[in-house]
Amino acid sequence: MLILGSTCMLLIILGFVFGIVALIGMKKYGRKGILGRAVAGTCINGIIIFFMVIAIPTYIKAAQRAKEIHRQQTEQRQ
């Protein structure tokens, strides 16, 4: 599961970076066929990255709660 999540995150970040590279490369290769795809890729991946960054504090809180619950269950068993 960790490998799958890491792979997805890597692909999203690479899509964002390649979109920016394509936008920069338009100066050399022209706009035809590049502009729409580059803007779409940059926007979609940028939105996904934005939501991932916003979700980080929620995941941290959930992990802390899970650790606390696990600690309480361990204390009750002893």
- If we measure between CA atoms, which residue out of 2, 51, 52, 45 comes closest to residue 20? 45
- pTM listed for this prediction: 0.68
pLDDT, tens only, 15-53: 999 999 988 888 887 778 788 888 988 999 999 999 999
Number of domains forming the structure of the chain: 1
Q: What is the pLDDT of residue 67?
A: 93
- Residue 65 binned pLDDT confidence (cut-offs 50, 70, 90): very high
For 14-41, the DSSP string reads HHHHHHHHHHHHHHHH-STTTHHHHHHH
Q: What is the pLDDT of residue 47?
A: 93
Determine the structural domain holding residue 10 and report its residue range.
2-77
